[in-house]
Amino acid sequence: MRVDGVFIRGRGFFLSVPSQSVRGGCEPMDGMMEQTKTGTSTVGVTFNGGVVVGADHRATMGHFVANKSVQKLFRIADNIALTTAGLVGHAQALSRSLAAELALFELKRGTQMSVKGAATLTANILGGRPHWVQLLIAGVDDEGAHVYSIDSAGGSIPDVYCATGSGSPYMYGVLEDKFREGMNRDEAVEVVARALLASAQRDAASGNGMDVCVITPKDGYQLVPQEELEALFKRL
């Protein structure tokens, strides 16, 4: 039986997650999403030698901007970044769990987990207990640069670029137009910045600045300085 978006089977409750809620531009469902912080634009782009990952800062509760400086881009290993769209509480708990799991793996094995391994681990966690999130796992390993999109039920899809959150439709327009194989680091940073700017201009649940990082085999996880981003914005 289904009651207003909630599936009820026997004595247990099974939530039916609207696709818009998963992406981060969430509408309240039977009061469960009321007073929860959501709304997001995140993006990951591969380039020749690494990956660039970015996220905005805004969190919303319905039509209210609840916070202008939420962290949605996380370093979970020196070679892997996580971005989060959806409920802030679920996202923060997942980022802590994944960082701990990857650190433990490295201590036990003496080597970093592959990006595919991290994506599979994340998908298994979500498959066992669905969260109100959509994630990007992006990074580099011995096989190159990778971006994985992972939905709330644990579905994992690799691609050369990906966007999540309520601003993703606007970012995909930029990505489809500007992305090309074999880009260098600066070109990939510009594509990510353009995509996040597009979402901030059109999506009410995204904005208030951005965090961008570059991950390469040589330098690992490196945040792009805000000064570099501001100089880039003046040229766009």
Which residue range(s) make up the domain with 94? 2-235
pTM exceeds cut of 0.85: no
Q: pLDDT tens digits for 52-88? A: 999 999 998 888 998 999 999 999 999 999 999 998 8
Helical residues (DSSP H) of 79-184, grouped into ranges? 88-109, 115-128, 168-178
- Cβ atoms 194, 175 nearer than 8 A: no
Q: Exposed (0-12), middle (13-18) or buried (19+): which is 196, by Cβ within 10 Å?
A: buried
CATH number for the domain harbouring residue 93? 3.60.20.10
Q: pLDDT tens digits for 88-146? A: 889 999 999 999 999 999 999 999 999 999 999 999 999 888 789 999 999 999 999 99
CA distance 24 to 66: 14
- Residues marked as catalytic: 40
pLDDT value at residue 129: 82
CA distance 184 to 200: 25
For 109, other C-beta atoms within 10 Å of its C-beta total 9
**Average of pLDDT values for 21-28?**
39
What integer best gives the mean pLDDT of the chain? 86
CA distance 50 to 52: 7
Residue 37 sits at φ, ψ, to 5 deg, of: -90, 125
Plot region of 128 (φ>0 → left; ψ -120 to 50 → alpha; else → beta): alpha
pLDDT band at 235 (very low <50, low <70, confident <90, very high): confident
Specify the number of domains making up the chain.
1
HSE value, Cβ hemisphere, 13 Å, CA-based, for 139: 26
Q: pLDDT tens digits for 172-223? A: 999 999 999 999 999 999 999 999 999 999 999 999 999 999 999 999 999 9
* pLDDT tops 60 at residue 21: no
* pLDDT tops 60 at residue 16: no
For 67, other C-beta atoms within 10 Å of its C-beta total 14
* pLDDT tops 60 at residue 32: no
